[in-house]
């Protein structure tokens, strides 16, 4: 059996390691970093790269390039994704990062299959079993897609509540170890197995790992579930203060603070550890990288000649660790460089180089951040 693993992150590398122990012909390929070309023909293609907007199209492209008998998607994907790819199977991977190899060999590996593939799924399960992976077929790929997403959502809910319990203990001046941990452990010792509850320690700032929050966001992108939405905020360590309007399609990273009365528009992307001050306006087309500080009342504009059609809008990129002062206006088609500083009340009409300090109306350079700040 010849196999091709596409995507060499933690999932792909771990799967390839397990399969290599039993199968001599394991090809690997990663779009961003590969020493090898795609083989012309294999028995099984394993898809292991993260979900993105072009996921279905990308998988279909690989399926056309490499002749194959079976295609198995191991990635976390929105419910209904796999059935868009003709004849594909879905089989989520479980385990603790970064030791996913142990998880693959320890957990039952479910294989979701289209009803029309009830015969072929036997071959897929036999293939995994031969590699030492316990396998179980599940009819309809939407079931395995949802079981993976909900599994991470449950875990995220547990650890988010642990964080809430910590805050409640602090408020009343009580010890978490005594009030929560000791109490629940002794409870678990006295009850039947199916009544035991997980006892988790709260995270310091936000949930680590690679998929808990990310899988919640995949599910929330399909439909807003109020409890899950709040849990996702807690797990991210992100605070969105009252009266702010944040579009459901906006992507906000971990450890962020969004002040009151802010507007975060459609498809806006905000990285990790970003502070956005109150009364700021961030419309569609704006991308803000990690560790950026945006003071109150900053306005980003995606439309230089309003009201222009959407095709005339311009994008704005704010690079890592930039600072934008209070009341500044950033016009479209502008890049604010890494560690650049925009002084309060400025109107930015053109790109700001990395580390540059600009201010004025329109803003112009007054030297580098290193030179001025020391």
Residue 300's pLDDT is what? 97
Ordered by start, the domain boundaries in the chain are: 2-139, 146-236, 238-373
Cβ neighbours of 10 (radius 10 Å): 18
pTM for the structure as a whole: 0.80
> 146-236 architecture in CATH?
Orthogonal Bundle (1.10)
Residue 209's pLDDT is what? 66
d(CA 64, CA 87): 13
d(CA 85, CA 92): 16
Can you give the three-state secondary structure of the chain, one letter per residue?
CEEEEECCCHHHHHHHHHHHCCCCEEEEECCCCCCCCCCCECCEEEECCCCCCCHHHHHHHHHHHCECCEEEECCCCCCCCHHHCCCCEECCCCCCCCCHHHHHHHCCEEEEECHHHCCHHHHHHHHHHHCCCCEEEEECHHHHHHHHHHHHHHHHHHHHHHHHHHHHHHHHCCCHHHHHHHHHHHHHHHCCHHHCCCCCCCCCCCCCCCCHHHHHHHHHHHCCCHHHHHHHHHHHCCEECCCCEECCCCEECCCCEECCCCEECCCCEECCCCEECCCCEECCCEEECCCCEECCCCEECCCCCCCCCHHHCCCEEECCCCEECCCCEECCCEEECCCCEECCCCEECCCECCCEEEEEECEEEEEEHHHHHC
Residue 310's pLDDT is what? 83
CATH number for the domain running over 238-373: 2.160.10.10
Residue 188's pLDDT is what? 94
Task: Return per-residue pLDDT of the chain as tens, 374 residues.
Answer: 899 999 999 999 999 999 998 998 899 998 876 666 889 999 999 999 999 999 999 999 999 999 999 999 999 999 999 999 999 999 999 988 777 999 999 999 999 999 999 999 999 999 999 999 999 999 999 999 999 999 999 999 999 999 999 999 999 999 999 999 999 999 999 999 999 998 888 888 888 766 889 899 999 989 989 999 889 988 999 999 989 999 988 999 999 999 999 999 999 999 999 999 999 999 999 999 999 999 999 999 999 888 877 888 999 999 999 999 999 999 999 999 999 999 999 999 999 999 999 999 987 788 887 877 76
CATH number for the domain running over 2-139: 3.40.50.720
Residue 224's pLDDT is what? 86
Residue 65's pLDDT is what? 95
Asked if the domains at 146-236 and 238-373 fall in one CATH topology, the answer is no
């Amino acid at each position: 059996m010849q196999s091709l693993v596409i995507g060499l992150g933690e999932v792909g590398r771990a799967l390839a390691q397990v399969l290599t122990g039993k199968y001599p012909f394991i090809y690997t390929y990663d779009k961003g970093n590969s020493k090898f070309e795609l083989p012309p023909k294999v028995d099984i293609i394993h898809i292991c790269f993260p979900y993105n907007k072009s996921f279905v199209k990308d998988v279909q492209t690989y399926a056309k390039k490499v002749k194959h008998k079976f295609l198995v998607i191991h990635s976390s994907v929105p419910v209904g994704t796999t059935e868009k790819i003709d004849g594909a199977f879905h089989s989520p991977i479980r385990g603790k990062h970064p030791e996913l190899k142990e998880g693959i060999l320890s957990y039952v590996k479910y294989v979701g299959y289209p009803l029309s593939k009830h015969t072929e799924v036997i071959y897929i399960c036999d293939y995994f079993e031969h590699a030492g992976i316990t396998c179980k077929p599940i009819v309809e790929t939407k079931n395995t897609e949802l079981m993976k997403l909900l599994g991470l959502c449950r875990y995220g809910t547990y650890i988010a509540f642990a964080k809430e319990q910590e805050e409640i203990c602090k408020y009343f001046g009580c010890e978490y170890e005594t009030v929560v941990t000791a109490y629940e452990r002794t409870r678990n010792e006295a009850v039947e197995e199916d009544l035991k509850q997980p006892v988790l320690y709260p995270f310091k700032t936000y949930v680590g790992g690679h998929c808990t929050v990310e899988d919640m966001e995949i599910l929330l992108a399909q439909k807003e579930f109020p409890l899950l939405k709040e849990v996702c905020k807690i797990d991210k360590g992100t605070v969105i203060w009252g009266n702010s309007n944040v579009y459901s399609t906006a992507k906000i990273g971990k450890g962020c603070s969004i002040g009151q009365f802010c507007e975060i528009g459609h498809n806006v992307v905000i990285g990790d550890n970003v502070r956005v001050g109150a009364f700021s306006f961030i419309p569609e087309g704006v991308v803000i990288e990690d560790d950026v500080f945006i003071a109150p009342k900053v306005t980003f504009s995606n439309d230089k000649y309003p009201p222009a059609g959407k095709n005339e809008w311009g994008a704005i990129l704010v690079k890592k660790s930039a600072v934008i002062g209070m009341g500044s206006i950033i016009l479209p088609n502008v890049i604010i460089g890494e560690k650049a500083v925009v002084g309060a009340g400025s109107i930015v009409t053109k790109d700001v180089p990395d580390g540059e300090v600009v201010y004025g109306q329109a803003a112009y350079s007054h030297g580098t951040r290193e030179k001025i700040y020391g």
